[in-house]
Amino acid sequence: MRSRSFEKVTQARSMAMQAATPAEMAKAENMLRDTLKSLFAVAEAYPELKANANFIQLQSQLHELENNIESARRYYNAVVRDYNTLIESFPSNLIASQFKFEKEEFFDSKPLKWRESL
């Protein structure tokens, strides 16, 4: 089960790295999160690993990283919202239509609480 969990994490990470659109990235990152949750669930079966200082530090760093990424996603979505509003508002919509500016996709991703799985 452990090796299969590591393989799933590797495959999900690869898919996340190859994603091109925000929707593909969100889907791939959700899959990566789910596989990481399953990896931490496997760690539950090993109390010595769960108590290991390096493993605790890894969990802490992943939690902090997830918070930073979520903040960046919120910023990205705010910029996309402003951009989409701007290209539909007068007078900027005249320029936007002339240069074929199109609406951008939001980055939709389910939030993950690392501590819920532990």
The per-residue pLDDT for 52 is: 82
The pLDDT assigned to 118 comes to 43
- Asked whether 31 and 39 are in contact (CB, 8 A), the reply is no
Q: What's the rounded Cα separation, in Å, for the pair 4 and 63?
A: 23
Residues of the chain with pLDDT under 70: 1-2, 110-118
Q: Tokens for 40, please give them.
A: 């931490």
Q: What is the reported pLDDT for 110?
A: 63
Tokens of 20: 């091109």
